[in-house]
A and B are shown apart, each in its own frame.
Chain A
Amino acid sequence: MKDPAKISPRKADMPQQRDAERWLAAIVESSDDAIIGKSLDGIITSWNAGAQRIFGYAADEAIGKPITILIPQELWHEEAEILKRLRKGERVDHYETTRLHKDGNSIVVSLTISPIRDSSGTIAGISKISRDVTEHRRLLASEQHARAEMLAERKFRELIEHAPDAILQVDTSGTILIANRTAELTFGYSLDELIGMQVDELVPEALRGEHAAHRKTFEAAGVSRPMGLGLDLRARRKDGSEVPVEISLSPAQTENGICVTAVIRDVTERKRAEQQIESLKKSYLAELEARHREAERLNQLKSEFIASVSHELRTPLHTIIGFAELLDEPETGPLNEKQKRFLHHIHTDSDHLLSLINDVLDLSRIEAGGLTVRTEGLLLPTVVSEAVSAIRPNAESKRISIREGQIPSVHVLADALRVRQIFYNLLSNGVKFTDPGGEVHVSAVQDGDRVEITVSDTGMGIPALECERIFDKFYQVGYTTAGVRQGTGLGLTICKQLVEMQGGKIWVDSEPGHGSRFHFTLPVLRDVTGITDRL
């Protein structure tokens, strides 16, 4: 439905003017672009052939319809905006937007819209030139896409090329489709040689048959296999040499069907490092073992040395002590007081020297684990009276009385030599730390399957704090030993070790000024049959 007043507002009564109008109409008609006239309220008023070609509507279908038939609904607001600008006399140039073809397809168009003014200059309508840029846009997009793809391809290629591992893609026939530069280095073939080559050629000859079978199994299972797995794999290089490799496999669905991507790592360096570590480890172990043997040998030497020193020291001491005792016997002849005093010094100092030698030897044996106890049934009263007799001369020379109290007649399970040593140590300590006129006393009580032996003295006693530490190695009670000839500080340590080795306990109770009571226990032997007299 035409509104002649609006299409041709001017009178066309002059022949030249009519010719010019026809001329213009022909130009409009021949344009490839859609040239559409519309009213200010958006109604289509003119429609050329270009418009029909681009939008699919014939002129009589379009004219009189609202322009919105060409606009996707979601863009209607756009049209309102454009109209607003046009009413203000503005133009819209090369505005790209989407329009609808009659068949419903989207078309990308470039719009140039301008107001049309009548002779009085009033805006009377709108001319809208639409260029179909759909194809142009599609070309542009596909160009961009191609470029993006190329970039992606290049990135992907770089990734593959610069991968530190050799990467191969192999099809089901075993033909190599893709290889990277590291593959060239790993296998010694050029890329040209690798592509199209049978992958089995990269496997050491001896394993090729097996490899083909493995390939089939892998393709059938289609499960990725990670690197490592502890497999000792080898690859064959072009020059025939072999390199240790680790291989991971993963199946990939490609346009060439199922392919296998293999990542192959040359582990030559790593293997070499591992071998180095292994050989270092071996040499360290060997060295460690050698050192251990050397330490044992030195320990053995030390023990032998100590035994030998002890032996060598005791041999002359034996005669010094022996002769000193003989000199003291009246049978040897009378001595004057001075001679007796000198002799006494020889006697006591050589005894001291002897106990030092004994203690050092014992402790070194205990510490080396070289001292074991040989227990046997020993009749306690015999053991006690022997011990007491041994210490008696020493005690009497100091005017200390040494007495045996109640001793139950039981057999103790103990080492004769070591029990004697314990008694000797405790009794001589008692004598050493007791003033002349005092007393050292030995008694014992049976308590079930053990017997508790007590050696008490009337000496200076030990402060409570010291009672614990008195059994520590080299510990000596400080001020209480003032004026008393020093021992080795090992006697009680040795006693403790010896008592414990025989299954007993040792402890002390004492207070300064009230003497000390050393207690130790030994197991009692119940069944006394089969006890053999010792040597």
Chain B
Amino acid sequence: MISPDYPQEPRRILIADDSASSRDLLRSILEANGYVVEEAEDGQQVLEIIESFGPHLVILDLHMPRLDGYSTATSLRKTAIFQRTPIVALTAAITQTAPDRISESGFSAYLVKPIRPSSLRKCIASLLQIDSI
């Protein structure tokens, strides 16, 4: 077991992806590091459960039914308590205009699928550390 990057309380991460296998993968990678993971199938579900779960970090797939990642991030940034919460975008293909749109929507970082466990861990560790400073 890799030692967690937090001192006391386990960090909670909310992941949203319409692909069940992708959610399972993210959960498996993150749980191995001791994070507490909650899943949502789309942006709508994220908005429904996020306040009760109160994540330290959110991972949103950009392409989801009902409410996509961009809109979800935009909504979250309008909510006072999530204004500074790191939000990571997941995308299967990065287009020319995507980076601008990602940053305009309020994301803190983006990862392009396929996601390597090591790079996901690294990204999250750095975002949570930066956030905790």
Binding site for B on A (CB under 8 A): 307, 310-312, 314-323, 325-326, 329, 331-332, 350, 354, 361, 365, 370-372, 374, 417, 535
- With the chains together, A133 CA to B102 CA distance in Å? 122
Q: Is the CB of A322 within 8 A of B96?
A: no
Can you list 15 A-B pairs, Cβ within 8 angstroms, ordered by A? A310-B93, A311-B93, A315-B113, A318-B113, A319-B21, A319-B25, A322-B22, A322-B25, A322-B29, A322-B115, A322-B117, A323-B25, A325-B117, A326-B117, A535-B109
- With the chains together, A307 CA to B132 CA distance in Å? 37
* CB under 8 Å from chain A, chain B span 80-109: 92-96, 99, 102-103, 107-109
Q: Is the CB of B93 within 8 A of A354?
A: no
Besides A310-B92, A314-B93, A329-B117, 6 new A-B residue pairs in contact (Cβ under 8 A), listed by A number: A314-B113, A323-B25, A329-B32, A332-B32, A365-B96, A535-B107
Q: Is the CB of A370 within 8 A of B1?
A: no
- With the chains together, A370 CA to B98 CA distance in Å? 13
Give the residues in chain B near A314, CB-CB below 8 Å. Answer: 92-93, 113-114
Q: Is the CB of B109 within 8 A of A326?
A: no
Residue among A310, A318, A319 having the largest count of chain B Cβ atoms under 10 Å: A318
Q: Is the CB of B28 within 8 A of A326?
A: yes
Q: Is the CB of A321 within 8 A of B109?
A: no
- With the chains together, A325 CA to B28 CA distance in Å? 11
Q: Is the CB of A322 within 8 A of B103?
A: no
Q: Is the CB of A318 within 8 A of B115?
A: yes
- With the chains together, A371 CA to B95 CA distance in Å? 9
Q: Is the CB of A317 within 8 A of B109?
A: no
Give the residues in chain A near B93, CB-CB below 8 Å. Answer: 307, 310-311, 314, 361
Give the residues in chain A near B32, CB-CB below 8 Å. Answer: 326, 329, 331-332
Give the residues in chain A near B109, CB-CB below 8 Å. Answer: 535
- With the chains together, A331 CA to B19 CA distance in Å? 24
Residue among B107, B108, B117 having the largest count of chain A Cβ atoms under 10 Å: B117
- Closest residue to A534 on the B side, CB-wise? B99
Q: Is the CB of A307 within 8 A of B95?
A: yes
Q: A326-B117, A535-B110 are in contact. Are A319 and B99 (CB under 8 A)?
A: no
Partner of A318 from B102, B110, B114 at Cβ < 8 Å? B114
Give the residues in chain A near B116, CB-CB below 8 Å. Answer: 321-322, 325
Q: Is the CB of A370 within 8 A of B113?
A: no
Partner of B114 from A354, A361, A365, A371 at Cβ < 8 Å? A354
Closest Cβ–Cβ distance, residue A309 to chain B (whole Å): 9
Give the residues in chain B near A326, CB-CB below 8 Å. Answer: 25, 28-29, 32, 117
- Closest residue to A319 on the B side, CB-wise? B21
B133 at the interface (CB under 8 A from A): no
- With the chains together, A281 CA to B43 CA distance in Å? 54
- With the chains together, A535 CA to B103 CA distance in Å? 8
Residue among A315, A331, A370, A535 having the largest count of chain B Cβ atoms under 10 Å: A315
B63 at the interface (CB under 8 A from A): yes
Q: Is the CB of A535 within 8 A of B108?
A: yes
- With the chains together, A166 CA to B50 CA distance in Å? 94
- Closest residue to A323 on the B side, CB-wise? B25
Q: Is the CB of A322 within 8 A of B1?
A: no
- With the chains together, A319 CA to B107 CA distance in Å? 23
Q: How does the 8 Å CB contact mask read for B2-23 relative to A, with 1 for contact and 0 for none?
A: 1000000000000000010110
Q: A311-B63, A325-B116, A329-B32 are in contact. Are A371 and B22 (CB under 8 A)?
A: no
- Closest residue to A310 on the B side, CB-wise? B93
Q: Is the CB of A315 within 8 A of B19?
A: yes
Closest Cβ–Cβ distance, residue A142 to chain B (whole Å): 100
Give the residues in chain A near B25, CB-CB below 8 Å. Answer: 318-319, 322-323, 326
- Closest residue to B24 on the A side, CB-wise? A319
Partner of B92 from A311, A323, A332 at Cβ < 8 Å? A311
- Closest residue to A321 on the B side, CB-wise? B114
Give the residues in chain A near B19, CB-CB below 8 Å. Answer: 315, 319
Give the residues in chain B near A312, CB-CB below 8 Å. Answer: 92
Give the residues in chain B near A320, CB-CB below 8 Å. Answer: 114
Give the residues in chain A near B99, CB-CB below 8 Å. Answer: 374, 535
Give the residues in chain A near B22, CB-CB below 8 Å. Answer: 315, 318-319, 322
Closest Cβ–Cβ distance, residue A82 to chain B (whole Å): 117
- With the chains together, A438 CA to B6 CA distance in Å? 40
- With the chains together, A266 CA to B118 CA distance in Å? 87
- With the chains together, A371 CA to B96 CA distance in Å? 7
Give the residues in chain B near A365, CB-CB below 8 Å. Answer: 96
- With the chains together, A111 CA to B124 CA distance in Å? 142
- With the chains together, A417 CA to B98 CA distance in Å? 12
Closest Cβ–Cβ distance, residue B77 to chain A (whole Å): 15
- Closest residue to B109 on the A side, CB-wise? A535
Give the residues in chain A near B94, CB-CB below 8 Å. Answer: 417
Give the residues in chain B near A331, CB-CB below 8 Å. Answer: 1-2, 32
- With the chains together, A319 CA to B29 CA distance in Å? 11
- With the chains together, A83 CA to B70 CA distance in Å? 135
- With the chains together, A350 CA to B96 CA distance in Å? 25
8 smallest beta-carbon distances between A and B, as pairs: A318-B113, A318-B114, A321-B114, A314-B92, A322-B25, A319-B21, A311-B93, A311-B92
- Closest residue to A351 on the B side, CB-wise? B114
- Closest residue to B19 on the A side, CB-wise? A315
Give the residues in chain A near B28, CB-CB below 8 Å. Answer: 323, 326
Residue among B1, B93, B108 having the largest count of chain A Cβ atoms under 10 Å: B93
Q: Is the CB of A322 within 8 A of B110?
A: no
Q: Is the CB of A318 within 8 A of B96?
A: no
Q: Is the CB of B63 within 8 A of A322?
A: no
Closest Cβ–Cβ distance, residue B60 to chain A (whole Å): 14
- With the chains together, A310 CA to B95 CA distance in Å? 11
Closest Cβ–Cβ distance, residue B63 to chain A (whole Å): 7
Give the residues in chain B near A370, CB-CB below 8 Å. Answer: 96
- With the chains together, A371 CA to B98 CA distance in Å? 13
- With the chains together, A317 CA to B19 CA distance in Å? 12
- Closest residue to B116 on the A side, CB-wise? A325
Give the residues in chain B near A307, CB-CB below 8 Å. Answer: 93, 95
Q: A311-B63, A535-B109 are in contact. Are A318 and B92 (CB under 8 A)?
A: yes
